[in-house]
Amino acid sequence: MSVHKEEEAVIPQDPGRRKFLNTTAIAGLAGAGLSMGLAACNKEQPAGPAAPAVKPIAAAAGGVDYTKYEVPPGQLDTYYSFSSGGESGEVRIYGLPSGRLFKRIPVFNIDCLVGWGITNESKKIIGTNADGSLKYCTGDTHHVHPSYTDGTYNGKHIFVNDKIHGRIARIRLDTMECDKITELPNVQGYHGTFPDKRDPVDEKINYTTRVFCGSEFHTPQPNDGRDLNDPKKYFCLFTCVDAETMEPRWQVKVDGNMDLVATSYDGKLACSNQYNTEGGVTYEEMMAFERDSCVFFDIARIEAAVKAGKTFHIGSSKVPVVDGTKAANADPRTALTCYVPVPKNPHGVNVTPDGKYYACAGKLSPTATLIEHDLVLKWFDGQLKDPRDTVVAEPEIGLGPLHTGFDNRGNAYTTLFLDSQIVKWNIDAAIKSFKGDKAAKPVLDRIDVEYQPGHGFTSMGETKEADGKFFLSDNKFSKDRFLPVGPLHPESAQLIDISGDKMKLVADHSVYSEPHDSIIIRRDIIRTRQVYDINEFPNATKDAKDCRVERKGKKVTIHLTSQAPAFGLREWTVKRGDEVTIILTNLDKVEDLTHGFAIPKHNINFIVNPQETKSVTFKTDKPGVYWCYCTSFCHALHLEMRSRMLVEA
C-alpha cells in the first residue's frame, strides 16, 4: 500500500520499541484469523537496542521548544478537557495544555471523596431498589459531549453514556456534578451518544433539545427469556432522549449494531456507524461482510411518524418505537433511515466543523469514508438511487483507523490504532483523488504516538469554532513512557501542536485508566459557580441555632450545620435500632471552604461545599460512642471539628 511507504518520523523513535508494538498488535489480529494482508504492511524497521533510559531533551524533541507549551505557576490553562473514564464509570476534568488533573466527577461509580453513592441525594440520582440500596454500582463511560447553541458549546451540560447498564447521565457544567441519570428501555451496550445541534423543524430552536443514543448489543426484544438462541429475532434500538427532562422520547428499531453517533449542524440528521450488519453473535460471524454501514436517521420524519402513531411498544416500556429497518424503509421519499455502505467493521464517525461531511473510520479497512451531508439529504429526497452515491471520498490513510478530529483549515486527523500514528489528511484532496485526480495527495503528514491511539480530538474540533491549535491523542498503552507503577499502567494522552504544516508532539500526559473520549473546550465557554445558594436546598438548616434532633418513633432526624471549626451540635443521642437521617448544611460562605463528615463503623463519609446541604440515612445497631469528624482540612482547628454520637443500648 502506497500509504505505508517509509516516511521520516517527526519525532525520532527508538526503532526497537516501535517494531515490538506493531508486530504485537498485528500478531494479535493475525492470531484471530484476520491477517487481512497486514503482514505486508508491517514496516521494515531495523531491530535496535533497548531504549536508553534518558534521552537528551533537545535531541528527542527535534527542535521543539517545550517551554512554549508550559503553564507556569500561577497561570491558568487555555482549555478544559473533559474525559470519560471508561470502566471507572466517572468523568475527569483536565487542563490543557498543562495536562493537570482538576477533578474527577463521579457518575455511575461510588466515590468516597464527595460521598457519591453514599448521600441520599446522589443515591436518588443513581437509582435505588425498594430497600434504598443502589440499583447499580458500576458503569462504563465512553463518550462525553456537551450541549450546543448555534453550532458551538453553550456551557450548560455534558452528556455521557454507561455502556454496561444502558444509562445516560447529565452533568451540569456550572457545578460540574451529575444531576440526572436515565436508564434506556430495552437497550444493551449503549455506546455512541451525541446531542443534536438545533431543531430540524423550528428554526428558532438553535440549541440542544435531544440526545441520541446508539446501542451496540442486539438482544431478543423484549429480553425476557424468550427467543434466547434465535439471533434472527435480535435487534438494536436507537434512542432519542429529551435533553431537559432526560426522559426517552422515542426509539428506532435498526438492523446492525451501532458504534458511534454523530449529528448534523442543521439538526436534520443523526447517524451511527455500524459494525455487525451481519447480525452475528460470534466475532467471526460479525466479520463476514465486506461492507457494513453508516446509518442515517431523518429526525423530522421520525418525529412525524411518532406523532402520527406509526409506532409499537416493546414489553412494558411506554416509549414509542418506529421501524427503521432496511426492509421497512425501501422508498427513500418516506424512509426514516438510510444505510450507507462503508468498508467492513468501521469505528467512529465524526462531522467536519463546516457541517458538510461525515468521516467514518475504517478500523479493519485502511481507509476513511467521507459521506456528504447534502447528498444524504438528496437521497432522502428521492434524487439519488444508491445510498453509496453519498460517498465522496475514501482515502487510504493507514492501518486501524478509529476516530477523526478536524482543524479549521480543511484537514482531518485520524488515529491509527495498528500503525500507532496520527495521520493528517486533506478533505478536498481526498475528494479530488476519489474523482480520479492522480495529482491529488490526501495524506499530508504522520506522527508516531506512544502507543496505539483510540480516540483523538482537536481543540473545539466538534464545533463550528474549531481552532486548529491542538490535537490530543488518547492512547491505549503507555508501556515505557512513565515511571512503572506495577502491572496496571496509566494510559497516555499526548498533546500535538497542529497549527503548522507538520504535527509536533509537545507533551506526554499520564491519564488514569481508561479514557475513551475527550472534549477540548475553550475556557471562556465555561462559567462555574464557586458557592451554592442555600435556598436551593429545601431541607437546609440556615442558622446554627436551629440545629436539633427530631424523633418520630424509631426514625430520628438530626438537623446539623457546619461552620469552621465546629458542627452545630457537639453531641446527640440515639438508640440502638433507630433509623437515623443526618441533614448537614455547610453555613460557610467562603469559596473553597468545604467540610467533610464521617462516622466510624457506619460507612458514612461525604463532603458539603459552601452553602450546600446533603443528607445520609443509616441504621444504628452498635451501641457506643462514635466520633463524627470533619474529613476535609478546613481550619487550624480542623482536627477538633468533631461531635459525639451516643448510641444507647
CA dist 460 and 515 (Å) reads 18
Pull the grid cell for residue 231: 439471533
Per CB under 5 A, the list member of 81, 109, 221, 345 interacting with Ca ion is: 345
Using CB under 6 A as the binding rule, whether residue 402 contacts ligand K7E is answered as: yes
Using CB under 6 A as the binding rule, whether residue 348 contacts ligand K7E is answered as: yes
253 interacts with, out of ligand K7E, ligand CUA, Ca ion, none, CB within 5 to 8 A per kind:
none
638 interacts with, out of Ca ion, ligand K7E, ligand CUA, none, CB within 5 to 8 A per kind:
ligand CUA
Which residue is it, cell 463518550? 143
- Whichever of 10 and 628 has its CB closer to ligand CUA, that residue is 628
Interface residue list for ligand CUA (CB under 6 A): 564, 595, 630, 632-634, 638, 641
List C-alpha distances in Å: 239 to 140, 184, 249.
18, 8, 8
- Whichever of 156 and 595 has its CB closer to ligand CUA, that residue is 595
Binding mask 190-209 for ligand K7E (x = CB under 6 A): -x------------------
CA dist 430 and 200 (Å) reads 30
- Whichever of 456 and 468 has its CB closer to ligand K7E, that residue is 456
Using CB under 5 A as the binding rule, whether residue 292 contacts Ca ion is answered as: yes
What lies within 8 Å, CB to CB, of 72 at 6+ separation is none
Nearest to 472 by CA among 8, 140, 13, 95: 95
163-199: buried (b, 16+ CB within 10 Å) or exposed (e) per residue?
bbbbbbbbbbbeebbbebbbebbbbbbbbbbbbbbbb
Q: Min. distance of Cβ 360 from Ca ion in angstroms?
A: 13
Which residue, judged by CB position, is nearest to ligand K7E in the bound state?
454
Using CB under 6 A as the binding rule, whether residue 347 contacts ligand K7E is answered as: yes
Q: Is the peptide bond before 190 cis (omega within 30 degrees of 0)?
A: no
402 interacts with, out of ligand CUA, ligand K7E, Ca ion, none, CB within 5 to 8 A per kind:
ligand K7E
Q: Are 315 and 251 in contact (CB under 8 A)?
A: no
Q: Min. distance of Cβ 399 from Ca ion in angstroms?
A: 18
Beta-sheet strand order (sheet of 411-416): 401-406, 411-416, 421-426, 443-448
Per CB under 6 A, the list member of 454, 456, 468, 596 interacting with ligand K7E is: 454
Pull the grid cell for residue 380: 432522502
Using CB under 5 A as the binding rule, whether residue 433 contacts Ca ion is answered as: no
CA dist 144 and 161 (Å) reads 7
Q: Min. distance of Cβ 234 from Ca ion in angstroms?
A: 15
Nearest to 586 by CA among 606, 566, 605, 612: 612
292 interacts with, out of ligand K7E, ligand CUA, Ca ion, none, CB within 5 to 8 A per kind:
Ca ion
Nearest to 414 by CA among 447, 450, 459, 385: 447
CA dist 249 and 146 (Å) reads 19
403 interacts with, out of ligand K7E, Ca ion, ligand CUA, none, CB within 5 to 8 A per kind:
ligand K7E
345 interacts with, out of ligand K7E, Ca ion, ligand CUA, none, CB within 5 to 8 A per kind:
Ca ion
- Whichever of 257 and 557 has its CB closer to Ca ion, that residue is 257
- Whichever of 221 and 613 has its CB closer to ligand CUA, that residue is 613
Which parts of this chain interact with ligand K7E (CB under 6 A)?
Answer: 142-143, 191, 347-348, 402-403, 454-455, 516-517
Which parts of this chain interact with Ca ion (CB under 5 A)?
Answer: 289, 292, 344-345
